[in-house]
Structure 1
């Protein structure tokens, strides 16, 4: 069973509480999503480390109930 955008967002926010998460359904099929995640907890971490945090938050759903997720991660811009 495919995951909804809201389920993806909830999992990410539960693991990364300071995250601002935007999810887009890329194909309209509930299987291919893009996520933009901005979190202060990403600051000082490499892009790989940021993505690993997101994958850990999804608890093994990638490749199972979530077929594809394009990630864009960053720390908030300093003002």
Structure 2
């Protein structure tokens, strides 16, 4: 069963309060998304660490109900 974009956004925002989250369904199938996440919690973290944090927020859904996620992350610009 595909995952809804709103559910992805909800999970990310629950882990990163105050984050700016943009989700785009790339194929219209509920399995392939792009997400852009800007969160203050990313400050001082490498890109790999930021992505790992987002994947952890998805609570194991990557590779299961969520097949593909093109992810971009960044801390807020000061």
Fold conserved between structures, TM > 0.5? yes
> What's the counterpart of residue 59 of structure 2?
59
Pick which of 30-39 and 14-23 moved more.
14-23
Matches within 5 A, 1:1-79: 1-78=1-78
Distance 2:9 2:60 in 1: 15
Q: TM-score, normalised by structure 1?
A: 0.96
* Count of aligned pairs between the two proteins: 78
State the alpha-carbon separation in 2 of the partners of residues 29 and 54 from structure 1: 21
| Aligned-pair CA distance for 1:19 | 1.1
Q: Mind listing any 5+ residue stretches in structure 1 that lack a counterpart? A: none
- Are the equivalent residues in 2 in contact too, given 1:24–1:34 (CA < 8 A)? yes
- C-alpha RMSD of matched pairs (Å): 0.6
Once residues 30 and 49 of structure 1 are traced to their aligned partners in structure 2, the CA distance between those partners, rounded to angstroms, is 26
SS of residue paired to 1:9: helix
Q: Distance in 2 between matches of 1:17 and 1:64?
A: 25
